[in-house]
C-alpha cells in the first residue's frame, strides 16, 4: 500500500521546495547540489525499511525529550518523563554542567523544528512514515477543519503529492503515508497555525473537553419540545419543529457543529445587527444615531411606536432596522441601484462569514412583502414623523428590508459571522478585517441590551452576553474575544425567541463563566475553558519551587496550609526539596521533611537526590541533616517491613509501600501526623491530607524518622 511514496518523495520534495531553492543564491551551487543529493538520499533512505528504522531509532536515542507544551489529546506529556532520562554517567555529567536551575528552558528542544516534532508525534515506529489520516484527525480535535482556508496549502500539497505518486491505490490524498521530508515540505506553509493548534495555544486550549460539555447541553435542549413555529408566512410555518442545529466558531477559527447545521433558513432579524454594522462602518455612530436610538423599547419588536425624540428606539427592532436600511439607500450608497445595494450588502455578509453559505430565498422575500402590513405601517408612520433621511424612496427601502430578512444561510456560516463579531470585526477563518473594532463594540452593546426582543432585559441579566434572535428560529450569541455561537431551532416562545436556542444560552452560561460579570473576583466557580488544564498546576509549581529556592519558609508554610501538594515536581522532576537543598536553606529542608513529610529521596531527571544537590553546592550542614534523615528513614522502613510480616493489615501494606517514595515526584505525600508525635507542628493536622486522623497517627511512628 505504501509502495511508491518514498521513491517519489524525492520528486515531491523537489517540487515542493522549488520555491525555497529558487531563493537560494546562485553563488552557492555546490551547497545547493549537496542539499539536493542529501534530500534525494534521504528520500531513498525512506524507501529501504531497515535503514530507515535504524535511522529513526538512532535519532530517537539522540532525541531530546518532547516539548512540554506540545500536547496532543491522546499523547499528553507529563511534567516529568523518566523514560527520557539519559542513563549514562557522562550524560549526567554533561547535563549537570549545562543545567543551572530547574526551570531552565530546553532551548535546544524549543529550537527543534516544529515540523519534526509533529512528525515524531504521529509517525509509525514500524514504517517510519506518518499517516496523514491520523494527523488530520488529530488536527480536527483541536478544532481545525480540513476545509479551513488557513490550511489550504497543506491540503493542496497533499493532493500534489498524491498525484505525483500516481494516486497510489489504497489511500486518498488525505490518508496517504509520508516520510519525514515530504511531510515537512507539505505542512511548511501552514506550520504556524498547525503548531499553535497542537501546542494548545488557541483560545479554547482543550477543545475536545469543551465540545463534550457542549454536546451534553445540545442533547438536553433537544428534548425540549416547547414553542410554536412562526406562521405569518407559509415558508416559516412549514419548518420541521424537530430541527435543531448548533455551530461554534472560536476567534481562532476552531469549529464545532452538531445537528441540522447545514439546513438553510432565512436570516430574518439576525440581519439587523449586520446592516447596522455596515451603516456604522460607513457613516459613523454620530450620523447613524442621529436617526435611531440606543434604548430598549420595552415593546414588541414590530410595535408602532417611536421614542420621545420621534426616532425608532434601536436598530434591533423592525422600525430601527427599516430606518437603517434607509440609511444604506440614501447615505451609504446613494448612487447605487436597488440591485447593486442588494449585492453590496450580501458581499459584506459573505465576507463576515468567511465565504460560507449566504444565499437568498425569493419565496420568503415575496411572502414577507405580501404579509407586511405592519412593516409598511411602520414605514409610513416614520415617514410621517420625518424619521428618514432626504431622498428616501420608501418602497425601495421596504423591499431592501425584506430582502435582508430573506437572505438565506445556515448554522455553520452564522457561527463564523458571530465569531467575526467576537473577534472585533476580523473573520477568524479568512483573517480578513471586515469591520473596525469600534463598530463591533457599538453593535455588541446594542445586541446586549436589545437583541432578544422583549426578553432582552432578562437575557442580559441571565446570560449577560450580546445576542440576536430571529423569527426563523435563529439565535446568534457572541462571547467577545472567545467565540461566536449560532443555534437554530424553529419553535419560538411567546416573545419570539427560539426555545431551544434560549435554553442553550442559559445552560451554557450556567456551566461556563461566560456571563459578562462572571469574572468578578470571588464570584465564579464555573468552568473556564479558556484556561489551560495545566495552567493552575504550572503556576503552583512555580510558586512552590520559587519559595523553596529563595528560602522562604513562611511562603512554604502558606502553600502547605492552602492544601497544595508539596511533593509537586517540575518538568525536570525537581522538587521543592531539591531546590532548598541546592541553595543550602536548611530551615526549608527541615520544614519540608518534618512538617510536610515530603519524601527525602526523590530523583530528578538526572537521577539526582536533594542530598546530591546539597553536596554539589557545598552545603555541608544540609548534607548532614539529609543523611541522618535518610538513615532514620531507612531504619523505619525496615521496621515497617518486619512488623508487616507479623501483623499486616491492608492499610499497613499501602502505607509501607508509600514510604518507599523513591523516585516518582507525582507520588502522593505521606499523611500528616496527628498529635502524640512529640513534635509541635505549626501545620494543622489535616491540612492537605486526605488520610484519616486515626490511620495517620498509627503509621507515623513507623514511617517517619524522628516521629
Report in angstroms how near the CB of residue 368 gets to ligand GLN at its nearest: 5
Report how far residue 178's alpha carbon sits from residue 162's, in angstroms, rounded to the nearest whole number.
10
Residue 601 contacts ligand GLN per CB under 6 A: no
SS3 at position 522: coil
- Identity of the residue, 476 or 674, whose beta carbon is nearer to ligand GLN in the bound complex: 476
What does residue 257 show for φ and ψ, rounded to 5 degrees?
-140, 145
Residues 6+ apart with CB under 8 A from 288: 276, 279, 280, 315, 324, 327
Report in angstroms how near the CB of residue 322 gets to ligand GLN at its nearest: 8
Which of 269, 601, 663, 703 forms a contact with ligand GLN (CB under 6 A)? 269
- Identity of the residue, 158 or 475, whose beta carbon is nearer to ligand GLN in the bound complex: 475
What does residue 447 show for φ and ψ, rounded to 5 degrees?
-60, -40
- Identity of the residue, 142 or 269, whose beta carbon is nearer to ligand GLN in the bound complex: 269
Report in angstroms how near the CB of residue 135 gets to ligand GLN at its nearest: 43
- Identity of the residue, 302 or 595, whose beta carbon is nearer to ligand GLN in the bound complex: 302
- Identity of the residue, 176 or 497, whose beta carbon is nearer to ligand GLN in the bound complex: 497
Report in angstroms how near the CB of residue 318 gets to ligand GLN at its nearest: 5
Could you tell me if 138 and 122 are in contact, meaning their C-beta atoms sit under 8 angstroms apart? yes
Q: What is the dihedral of CA 107, 113, 118, 119, to 10 degrees?
A: -120
Residue 361 contacts ligand GLN per CB under 6 A: no
Residue 318 contacts ligand GLN per CB under 6 A: yes
What are the angstrom distances between the C-alpha of 349 and each of 278, 357, 434? Answer: 9, 10, 10
Structure-block grid coordinates of residue 691? 488520610
Residues 6+ apart with CB under 8 A from 663: 82, 602, 603
Residue 405 contacts ligand GLN per CB under 6 A: yes
Site for ligand GLN in 189-248 (CB under 6 A): none
What are the angstrom distances between the C-alpha of 80 and each of 85, 299, 545, 572, 606? Answer: 9, 61, 15, 6, 11
Dump strand ranges (E) for 489-601: none
Structure-block grid coordinates of residue 211? 465540545
Between CA 601 and CA 612, with CA 606 as vertex, the angle to 5 degrees is: 45
- Identity of the residue, 39 or 378, whose beta carbon is nearer to ligand GLN in the bound complex: 378
Residues 6+ apart with CB under 8 A from 468: 269, 270, 272, 273, 316, 447, 451, 452, 475, 476
What does residue 144 show for φ and ψ, rounded to 5 degrees?
-95, 125
Q: What is the dihedral of CA 458, 461, 467, 471, to 10 degrees?
A: -10
- Identity of the residue, 301 or 606, whose beta carbon is nearer to ligand GLN in the bound complex: 301
Which of 250, 375, 547, 689 forms a contact with ligand GLN (CB under 6 A)? 375
- Identity of the residue, 372 or 541, whose beta carbon is nearer to ligand GLN in the bound complex: 372
Report how far residue 266's alpha carbon sits from residue 271's, in angstroms, rounded to the nearest whole number.
9
Report in angstroms how near the CB of residue 415 gets to ligand GLN at its nearest: 19
What are the angstrom distances between the C-alpha of 111 and each of 71, 107, 114, 324? Answer: 17, 6, 8, 54
Residue 319 contacts ligand GLN per CB under 6 A: no
Site for ligand GLN in 480-499 (CB under 6 A): 496
Report in angstroms how near the CB of residue 325 gets to ligand GLN at its nearest: 11
- Identity of the residue, 179 or 472, whose beta carbon is nearer to ligand GLN in the bound complex: 472
- Identity of the residue, 330 or 495, whose beta carbon is nearer to ligand GLN in the bound complex: 495
Report in angstroms how near the CB of residue 243 gets to ligand GLN at its nearest: 17
- Say how many residues touch ligand GLN, by CB under 6 A: 11
- Identity of the residue, 375 or 659, whose beta carbon is nearer to ligand GLN in the bound complex: 375
Which of 127, 171, 268, 324 forms a contact with ligand GLN (CB under 6 A)? 268
Residue 471 contacts ligand GLN per CB under 6 A: yes
Could you tell me if 487 and 475 are in contact, meaning their C-beta atoms sit under 8 angstroms apart? yes
- Identity of the residue, 314 or 595, whose beta carbon is nearer to ligand GLN in the bound complex: 314
Report in angstroms how near the CB of residue 140 gets to ligand GLN at its nearest: 34
Which of 470, 473, 602, 665 forms a contact with ligand GLN (CB under 6 A)? 470
- Identity of the residue, 202 or 265, whose beta carbon is nearer to ligand GLN in the bound complex: 265
Residue 368 contacts ligand GLN per CB under 6 A: yes
Site for ligand GLN in 100-129 (CB under 6 A): none
Report in angstroms how near the CB of residue 451 gets to ligand GLN at its nearest: 11
Report in angstroms how near the CB of residue 358 gets to ligand GLN at its nearest: 17
Q: What is the DSSP string of 56-84?
A: HHHHHHHPPPPPTT--BTTBPPPS--GGG
Report in angstroms how near the CB of residue 296 gets to ligand GLN at its nearest: 15
Single out the residue of 562, 465, 473 nearest to residue 519, CA to CA: 465
Indicate the helix (H) or strand (E) that contains 467.
strand 467-469
Could you tell me if 70 and 198 are in contact, meaning their C-beta atoms sit under 8 angstroms apart? yes
Report in angstroms how near the CB of residue 445 gets to ligand GLN at its nearest: 20
Report in angstroms how near the CB of residue 502 gets to ligand GLN at its nearest: 14
Sheet arrangement for strand 407-409 = 265-266, 407-409, 359-360
Residues that bind ligand GLN (CB under 6 A): 268-269, 301-302, 318, 368, 375, 405, 470-471, 496
Amino acid at each position: 500500500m505504501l509502495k511508491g511514496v518514498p521513491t517519489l518523495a524525492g520528486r515531491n520534495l523537489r517540487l515542493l521546495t522549488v520555491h525555497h531553492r529558487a531563493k537560494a543564491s546562485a553563488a552557492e551551487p555546490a551547497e545547493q547540489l549537496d542539499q539536493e543529493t542529501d534530500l534525494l538520499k534521504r528520500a531513498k533512505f525512506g524507501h529501504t525499511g531497515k535503514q530507515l528504522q535504524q535511522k529513526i531509532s538512532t535519532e530517537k536515542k539522540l532525541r531530546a525529550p518532547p516539548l512540554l507544551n506540545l500536547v496532543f489529546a491522546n499523547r499528553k506529556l507529563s511534567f516529568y518523563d523518566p523514560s527520557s532520562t539519559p542513563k549514562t554517567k557522562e550524560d549526567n555529567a554533561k547535563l549537570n554542567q549545562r543545567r543551572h536551575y530547574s526551570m531552565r528552558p530546553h532551548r535546544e528542544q524549543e529550537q527543534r523544528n516544529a515540523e519534526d516534532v509533529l512528525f515524531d508525534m504521529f509517525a509509525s515506529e514500524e514504517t517510519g512514515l506518518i499517516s496523514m489520516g491520523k494527523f488530520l484527525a488529530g488536527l480536527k480535535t483541536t478544532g481545525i477543519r480540513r476545509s479551513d482556508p488557513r490550511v489550504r496549502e497543506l491540503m493542496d500539497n497533499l493532493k500534489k503529492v498524491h498525484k505525483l505518486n500516481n494516486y497510489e491505490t489504497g489511500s486518498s490524498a488525505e490518508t496517504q503515508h509520508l516520510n519525514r521530508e515530504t511531510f515537512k515540505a507539505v505542512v511548511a506553509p501552514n506550520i504556524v497555525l498547525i503548531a499553535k493548534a497542537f501546542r494548545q495555544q488557541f483560545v479554547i486550549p482543550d477543545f475536545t473537553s469543551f465540545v463534550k460539555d457542549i454536546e451534553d447541553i445540545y442533547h438536553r435542549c433537544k428534548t425540549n419540545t416547547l414553542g410554536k413555529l412562526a406562521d405569518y408566512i407559509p415558508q416559516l410555518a412549514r419548518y420541521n419543529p424537530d430541527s435543531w442545529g448548533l455551530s461554534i466558531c472560536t476567534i481562532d477559527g476552531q469549529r464545532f457543529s452538531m445537528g441540522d447545521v447545514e439546513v438553510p433558513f432565512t436570516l430574518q432579524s439576525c440581519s439587523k445587527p449586520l446592516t447596522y454594522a455596515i451603516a456604522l462602518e460607513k457613516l459613523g455612530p454620530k450620523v447613524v444615531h442621529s436617526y435611531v436610538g440606543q434604548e430598549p423599547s420595552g415593546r414588541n419588536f414590530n410595535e408602532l411606536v417611536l421614542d420621545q425624540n420621534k426616532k425608532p428606539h434601536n436598530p434591533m427592532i423592525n422600525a430601527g432596522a427599516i430606518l437603517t436600511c434607509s440609511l444604506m439607500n440614501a447615505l451609504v450608497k446613494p448612487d447605487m441601484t436597488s440591485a447593486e445595494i442588494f449585492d453590496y450588502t450580501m458581499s459584506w455578509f459573505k465576507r463576515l462569514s468567511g465565504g460560507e453559505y449566504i444565499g437568498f430565498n425569493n419565496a420568503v422575500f415575496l411572502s414577507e412583502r405580501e404579509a407586511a402590513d405592519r412593516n409598511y405601517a411602520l414605514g409610513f408612520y416614520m415617514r410621517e414623523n420625518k424619521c428618514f433621511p432626504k431622498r428616501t424612496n420608501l418602497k425601495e427601502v421596504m423591499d431592501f428590508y425584506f430582502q435582508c430578512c430573506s437572505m438565506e444561510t445556515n448554522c455553520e456560516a452564522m457561527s463564523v459571522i458571530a465569531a467575526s463579531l467576537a473577534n472585533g470585526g476580523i473573520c477568524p477563518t479568512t483573517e480578513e478585517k471586515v469591520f473596525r473594532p469600534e463598530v463591533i463594540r457599538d453593535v455588541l452593546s446594542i445586541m446586549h441590551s436589545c437583541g432578544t426582543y422583549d426578553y432582552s432585559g432578562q437575557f442580559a441579566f441571565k446570560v449577560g452576553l450580546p445576542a440576536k434572535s430571529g423569527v426563523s428560529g435563529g439565535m446568534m450569541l457572541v462571547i467577545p474575544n472567545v467565540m461566536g455561537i449560532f443555534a437554530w431551532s424553529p419553535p419560538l416562545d411567546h416573545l419570539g425567541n427560539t426555545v431551544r436556542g434560549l435554553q442553550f444560552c442559559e445552560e451554557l452560561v450556567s456551566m461556563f463563566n461566560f456571563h459578562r460579570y462572571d469574572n468578578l473576583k470571588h464570584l465564579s466557580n464555573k468552568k473556564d475553558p479558556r484556561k489551560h488544564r495545566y495552567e493552575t498546576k504550572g503556576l503552583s509549581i512555580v510558586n512552590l519551587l520559587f519559595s523553596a529556592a529563595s528560602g522562604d519558609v513562611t511562603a512554604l508554610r502558606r502553600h502547605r496550609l492552602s492544601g497544595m501538594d508539596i511533593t509537586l515536581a517540575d518538568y525536570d522532576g525537581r522538587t521543592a526539596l531539591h531546590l532548598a537543598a541546592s541553595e543550602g536553606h536548611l530551615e526549608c529542608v527541615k520544614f519540608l521533611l518534618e512538617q510536610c513529610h515530603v519524601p527525602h529521596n526523590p530523583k530528578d531527571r538526572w537521577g539526582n537526590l536533594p542530598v546530591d544537590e546539597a553536596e554539589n553546592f557545598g552545603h555541608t550542614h544540609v548534607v548532614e541533616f539529609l543523611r541522618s534523615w535518610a538513615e532514620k528513614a531507612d531504619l523505619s522502613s525496615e521496621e515497617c517491613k518486619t512488623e508487616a510480616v507479623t501483623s499486616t493489615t491492608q492499610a499497613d501494606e499501602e502505607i509501607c509501600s508509600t514510604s518507599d517514595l523513591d523516585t516518582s515526584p507525582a507520588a502522593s505525600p505521606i499523611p500528616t501526623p496527628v498529635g502524640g508525635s512529640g513534635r509541635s507542628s505549626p501545620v494543622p493536622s489535616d491540612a492537605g491530607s486526605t488520610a484519616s486522623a486515626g490511620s495517620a497517627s498509627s503509621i507515623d511512628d513507623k514511617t517517619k524518622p524522628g516521629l
